[in-house]
Amino acid sequence: MGKPTGFIEFLREVASELSPSDRIHNWDEFHLHMPEDKLRNQAARCMDCGTPFCHTGTLISGMASGCPINNLIPEWNDLVYRGLWQEALDRLHKTNNFPEFTGRVCPAPCEGSCVLGIHNPAVTIKNIECEIIDKGWEEGWIAPELPAKRTGKKVAIVGSGPAGLCAAAQLNKAGHWVTVFERADRPGGLLMYGIPNMKLDKEKVVLRRIEVLEAEGIEFVCNTEIGKDISAENLLKDFDAVVLCTGATKPRDLPIEGRQLQGIHFAMDFLTANMRAILDGSGDFISAKDKDVVIIGGGDTGTDCVGTSLRHGCRSLVQLEIMNQPPPERAADNPWPEWPKIYRMDYGQEEAAAKFGSDPRVYLTTATDFEGDENGNVKAIRTVQVQWERNEKGQFIPNPVPGTEKVLPAQLVLLAMGFLGPEQPLLDALGIDRDPRSNVKAEYGKYATSIPGVFAAGDCRRGQSLVVWAFNEGRGAARECDLYLMGSTDLP
């Protein structure tokens, strides 16, 4: 390592941000760059730990421990410390096609398994990753790289989200002609419409990378849904191989009394309409302005709804979370190198606390029914506290606590309770096998479906997961697809 004693000499520092009170007035990214001398000090904290767990990329207790795409973290930390930025970028690109995405939206399981993090604050891996790739763009080190030769094989990628983009990039590098089909009006999938602009800038970050992919020879066909605009039969006939990367976009509903009232929306419909309105410069979106907003669900999507509602100018905001509030530090049953399940305030909760005075999340609480006005609009939501107890089968279930009922005003309710798997019409049209959770049935590491020449990767195969797992699977499916087409492969 460049500085073996760096972890002793330097404390953890992260890049500064615009204050929550200021940033809620626009849709711009709010993370600021850190001076190079401080970045090099932070990279120096990466210790000579012998066995670096940060890039192991394993599942422990059902959650990611270490980087799922096996980023060579100690190597590029050392290069940053020594000021060798272009070499650091080369090492980063060895495993990660799009570090500018993960550097902004990944929850950084690498930091949760950092060896230094056992006793001290972990190395600022995510921040350093983002600074490496941003410097690469600023210095002009990132340019289209055309494959040395073309194989003549044609591959269709269905879905242009993180898994689809990684699969497309890798298969194009192998020399195949790649066409990416996207049913939305812009490519990017979740990256374009599922993540708000202040978290991941669309024009400066996402579309910039799409333009490079197009210059490398990848064709993006938008406003095209396989099974409607192009039949599944023709897709299989016109291409030598197909990679399904459609995501897990079937939202979990809340079928309680009053669900039919106006003003109750799935979170992704709310976020997508908002992002499209920003990009189009239109006023056609679901507005939270001057409304009492209740968000049901405490994950990343719920946080994005919080940040978006605040920027609209909501009157009040409550976020319901059915689970317990996590402890401030690791519990005894959550040891390193597991992902630390501890209490955190993400950017949306920080902004809500700045505006309204406290974290908007209410734990161990669920909705029981919605109340409407005379015009069929939602006006309130009834809630009750719950306690988790084992049923006769030994399963933990939430039981209502009598006497804890409340009524919250709500003119806008956003359902952010996760997803149930991929939408089924395309899979029905293909006649493809599915697993018991309705995901595409394809073995991890092989990605081959029940139809020869058709592969599946990302959330449509594994269920709702992290962007970085989509990268892992997109790259893996590309490797297996190349092997299928050519009989051998050099893709990692």
What is the Cα 237 distance to its own chain's centre? 33
- Report the CATH fold assignment for 6-139: Fumarate Reductase Iron-sulfur Protein; Chain B, domain 2 (1.10.1060)
8 Å CB contact between 100 and 152: no
Regions in the chain scoring below 70 on pLDDT: 1
Burial 381-415, CB ≥16 within 10 A → b, else e:
bbbbbbeeeeeeeeeeebeeeeeeeeebbbbbbbb
Quick one: pLDDT at residue 50? Answer: 86
Alpha-carbon gap, residue 119 to 111, rounded angstroms:
13
The b-or-e profile of 436-475 (16+ CB within 10 A means b, else e) is eebbbbbeeeebbbebebbbbbbbbbbbbbbbbbbbbbbb
312-325 tens-digit pLDDT? 999 999 999 999 99
Q: Quick one: how far is CA 147 from the chain centroid?
A: 29
- By the 10 Å C-beta count (0-12 exposed, 13-18 middle, 19+ buried), 306 is classed as buried
With CA atoms as reference, report the closest residue to 244 among 94, 87, 456, 69.
Answer: 456
CA 37 to centroid of chain Cα atoms: 30
Per-residue pLDDT at 396? 92
Confidence (pLDDT) at 2: 72
Domain with CATH 1.10.1060.10 in the chain: 6-139
Pairing state between β 412-415 and 292-296: parallel
**Which pLDDT score, from 0 to 100, does residue 320 have?**
98
Structure-token match 């030598």, residue found: 240
Here the tokens at position 17 are 């941000």
Query: Domain 154-249+420-486: which topology?
Result: FAD/NAD(P)-binding domain (3.50.50)
| β partners of residue 484 | none
**Which numeric CATH code is attached to 253-417?**
3.50.50.60
pLDDT number for residue 283: 87
Q: Where in the chain is the domain with CATH 3.50.50.60?
A: 154-249+420-486, 253-417
- What angle do the packed helices 36-44 and 125-139 form, to 10 degrees? 140
Whose tokens are 């003003």? That residue is 263
Q: Which two tokens stand for residue 48?
A: 């000579």
Residue 395 to residue 365: CA distance in whole angstroms = 19
Give the C-alpha separation, 302 to 415, whole Å: 8
Q: Which amino acid type is present at position 374? A: E
Of the candidates 76, 77, 72, the one whose C-alpha atom is nearest the C-alpha of residue 41 is 77
Length of the chain: 492
Beta bridge partners of 293: 317, 412
pLDDT, one tens digit per residue, over 266-286 is 999 999 999 999 999 998 999
Residues 191/272, Cβ–Cβ less than 8 Å: no
Q: Which H helix or E strand runs over 380?
A: strand 378-390
